[in-house]
Amino acid sequence: MIPVNIPRVGEREKELLAECIDAGWISSGGPFVSDFEAGMAARVGRKFGVAVCNGTAALDVALAALAVGPGDEVIIPTFTIISCVHQVVRAGARPVFVDCDPKTWNMCVDEVEAKITRRTKAIMAVHIYGLPVDLDPVIEIANRHGLLLIEDAAEAIGQTYNGQACGGFGDLSTFSFYPNKLVTTGEGGMVVTDDSELAARCRSLRNLCFQPDRRFYHEELGWNYRMTNLQAALGIAQLERLAETVKRKREIGQIYNGLLGEVKLLQLPMKETPYAENIYWVYGIVLHESCQLDASQLIEELSAKGIGSRPFFWPMHEQPVLKKMGLIARESFPVAERVARRGLYLPSGLGTTDEEFRQVADVLKEILE
């Protein structure tokens, strides 16, 4: 079986993990946590980093720090992971969705302004699958309407927008360090910002809102979302070779582009836009309407032949849990609905070999033929 992702973890990670174990710093109290926060923040041009236990936790903390609450609305792409609406809903706010672009699969920026109401508090820009959202018009809209901007850069570690690092935009940005990300800590996440008060709020919220002078006396509720020193040690080692990782991911994308470029039934990822070159966080494909298979059927066919793959995100406006909560209006987002049903991504892990990529392409072409 060729799995959809094989992370690359090497000797440097082992060295730093051993250092944690030898020193006894395995909890969140170790020095690698602050080092990783500072390194990640500096990498994206931010002043402050707040490490947490996963990417969903980063979004939870970010939205709580921004005081998103009952009666508020947050504009979010429907084509994303449910983590993006998690804290919006739990806080009593309402997610308001926009469709995705048919070529980049990112949020359709042209739809954003029409969704703004007097209740709108924030826009969440989520970078999808390796290309960033076209941020300049989103920033302009947010500034003109006095809205907060949250940048979810979980899938864009190492990516840039017009030469500036993703994760460096908006009031704050969030990251995930899951094993398929370009920097992994196994599980982990981070909030980065330039606002010292927001950073302090995030640190408090991730740590049960302990007070400096009265540790076990609480005036509000937070979470135990701390990152361990062991996780941070992995992150530091991974961050050291991020440039190499981005280079390799782009090589993987070009390998697939060469192998699949002539397959007429497939829409391949865009190689670039006027503001960014794809880093191919995952290598996604969308089946043309003329293909007799849909994504779920192709995934089954690939699995039967030893190839791992994953479906695209299922749109938020079609999520049963949100429908049950009465949060979904009678809206249709045809692009997201189509790519969800006809899109999937292929093995593209850093630990996968070029020969394995050729095997994947051969099997895929055999099935489609």
DSSP string, 115-172: G--TTEEEEEEE-BTTB---HHHHHHHHHHHT-EEEEE-TT-TT-EETTEETT-SSSE
Q: Is residue 5 part of a domain?
A: no
Question: What CATH number is attached to the domain comprising 235?
Answer: 3.40.640.10
Count the neighbouring beta carbons within 10 Å of the beta carbon of residue 73. 20
**Same-domain check for residues 24 and 104:** yes
Q: Record the pTM.
A: 0.96
Say if 53 falls within a structural domain: yes
Single out the residue in 225, 240, 255 at which a domain terminates.
Answer: 240
* Domain membership flag for residue 26: yes
Query: Does residue 133 share a domain with residue 53?
Result: yes
pLDDT along the chain (369 residues), means of 10: 95 97 93 98 98 98 98 98 96 97 98 98 98 98 98 98 98 98 97 98 96 91 97 98 98 98 97 98 97 97 98 97 92 97 97 97 97
Q: Are residues 277 and 206 in the same domain?
A: no
pLDDT at 311: 98
Assess if residue 83 is contained within a domain: yes
Residues 15 and 53 in one domain: yes
Residues 135 and 210 in one domain: yes
Q: Are residues 153 and 217 in the same domain?
A: yes
141 and 248 share a domain?
no
Residue where one domain finishes, among candidates 240, 255, 286: 240
165 and 35 in one domain? yes
| Residue 256, pLDDT score | 98
Q: What is the pLDDT of residue 212?
A: 86
Q: Are 227 and 259 in the same domain?
A: no
Question: In the prediction, which pLDDT does 280 show?
Answer: 98
Q: Other CB atoms closer than 10 Å to residue 134's CB: what's the count? A: 22
Q: Give the residue from 240, 267, 297 where a domain finishes.
A: 240
State how many domains the chain has. 2
Name the residue among 193, 206, 227 with its Cα closest to residue 33: 227
Whole domain around residue 128: which residue ranges? 11-240
* pLDDT on residue 329: 83
CATH code where residue 315 lies: 3.90.1150.10
Q: Provide the pLDDT for residue 330.
A: 85
So what's the pLDDT on residue 43?
98
Measured CA to CA, the distance from residue 164 to residue 103 in angstroms comes to 22
- Classify residue 3: in a domain, yes or no: no
